[in-house]
Amino acid sequence: MGDVNRGAHSARKQAIRRKAQRRHSHFYDSRAHWSFSRNASAEPLSWSRERWILAGTAFFLVILSALVIPAWAGAMRKETVATALPRVNTDIPRPDVQSNVALAVVPLAVPRLDPASVKPLPPVETWNTVQVQPGQTLADIFVAQGLSMTDLQRVIDAAGGTKVFHQIKPGQEFQFLVNADHTLEGVRFDQDETSVATLRFTSGKAELTTQKRDVQRREHIAHGLIDSSLFGAASKAGMSNAMVLKLAEVFKFDIDFVQDLRVGDNFTVVYDDVYSDGAFMREGDIVAAEFINQGKRYTAYRYKNGDKVGYYSEEGRPLQGSFLRIPVDFTRISSQFSAGRMHPILGKMRAHKGVDYAAPSGTPIHAAGDGVVKFRGWMNGYGNFVVIQHNASISTAYGHMSRFANLRVGQRVSQGSTIGYVGMTGLATGPHLHYEFRVNNAQRDPQTVTLPKPEPLPAAQLAKFKKEIVGPQLARLNQVDNNTKLARNETAKNDGG
């Protein structure tokens, strides 16, 4: 069996060798007429035939590379342009791409390549990028592009259910493709963080396509030592002001950043940034943090419990209070809670069973805590009114709203979500939020009532939280701490001489 195999193997080897010899002899035969090898011996020079062959080959290679390399390079560049074109086609024209095109065409003409093989470039589409300015409406933007309200309606209709056009925000971007005769060819917009939509109008028909973006969160670690201010320390550690505010927000129930900070306090933070298709999109969130304030250590870990993302201490205690003390950004308190006061409109003594927070009309009103919408509608003097039931005994009530947020009775709301907007509906002399905190349906002073402590994570969630979040993040925080301590000791040694 083995012998048969070996026999077949050597036969195959011989066949291959014979074939190679045949091919090579053919190669030499076909080149036998080449002059430099045949006349070499006739020359009076003492160079041997072999040397001539070597020199000739070298010369031939130089000529060949002189011819081939530019042609090859040109061909390569042409390739780059060809693949870049579709992108130019659907993108705003960039000057660097334009100049690339020009560079690529010139060397192509130098080597002996057929200029006819260079395809003419399709016309470059000019997409105008527009960034929404504060106070600008969608109509303003369309008018500025030379478009009509009919165009706007066509876009809104064709974009289907997307919320993008219902409420535009400053900084949001749109791209328009408009013809010289002001006909709208296309609109491009971010559908959400992870996808970009392109709406094309060709021969009166609208076509919507979406492209997924590669969204990533990239983490950073920063360590700061407070010598004058939190902002100073954080800035030295490479954090932006926005991220410092987020850090202060996370610990605001534990640390009073106005009164309690001391020189020597320090912090270590893991935070992330959001990248879309490799490009920075926005700052992310605090992932994990440790703050040493007056020698006391506080921790915060971002954790998704069910569908709610919040911060918890290492022991699984929620850092947020169970209730916001004040559910609106107010300018002043226009009326305190009182058992009896002169009503400004009714002109009679009347108890005021809530707090009035004056704020400009349209200021968002937030749910004070997690709960379920129990009432949404018109209620006598309260005007547009919302009641949220938080647990068996506690509810909160919000009056005089100019309008409601997208909300229905029975809907779950989470703490801080917008439930409506400040107004002066019902009996009100100016725009304000009338806010009530009710315990077993009796109003209590929202400013002084003892707010219930938040519930810690239940046992099963706590185990998951400790294993998946605290374990790995704490290791990172400790590593930075150790490195910093080492570095500080080194500095101390060096300073000491």
Task: Kindly state the smallest distance separating residue 427's Cβ from Zn ion, in Å.
Answer: 9
Rounded CA separation 27/49 (Å): 19
Q: Which is nearer to Zn ion, 133 or 331 (CB)?
A: 331
Rounded CA separation 36/38 (Å): 6
The window from 9-17, 79-87, 319-327, 356-364 that contacts Zn ion (CB under 5 A) reads 356-364
The window from 237-245, 349-357, 407-415, 457-465 that contacts Zn ion (CB under 5 A) reads 349-357
Q: Which is nearer to Zn ion, 111 or 381 (CB)?
A: 381
Q: Which is nearer to Zn ion, 232 or 344 (CB)?
A: 344
> Of residues 21-80, which lie at the interface with Zn ion (CB under 5 A)?
none
Q: Which is nearer to Zn ion, 239 or 355 (CB)?
A: 355
Q: Got the DSSP string for 125-141?
A: P-EEEEEPPTT--HHHH
Rounded CA separation 375/362 (Å): 20
Tokens representing 237 are 């550690």
Enumerate residues 6+ apart whose C-beta is below 8 A from 351. 338, 339, 340, 341
Q: Which is nearer to Zn ion, 151 or 356 (CB)?
A: 356
Q: Comparing C-alpha atoms, which of 337, 339, 341 is closest to residue 436? A: 337
Tokens representing 247 are 């850090």
Binding mask 303-342 for Zn ion (x = CB under 5 A): ----------------------------------------
Task: Using CB under 5 A, count the residues that bind Zn ion.
Answer: 2
Task: Kindly state the smallest distance separating residue 338's Cβ from Zn ion, in Å.
Answer: 10
Q: Which is nearer to Zn ion, 223 or 400 (CB)?
A: 400
Enumerate residues 6+ apart whose C-beta is below 8 A from 126. 92, 93, 177
Q: Comparing C-alpha atoms, which of 191, 225, 229 is closest to residue 210? A: 191
> Of residues 417-436, which lie at the interface with Zn ion (CB under 5 A)?
434
246 binds Zn ion (CB under 5 A): no
Residue 104 DSSP class: H
356 binds Zn ion (CB under 5 A): yes
Q: What residue is closest to Zn ion based on CB? A: 434
370 binds Zn ion (CB under 5 A): no
Sign of CA dihedral 415, 418, 424, 425: negative
Q: Which is nearer to Zn ion, 113 or 333 (CB)?
A: 333
- Binding stretches for Zn ion (CB under 5 A): 356, 434
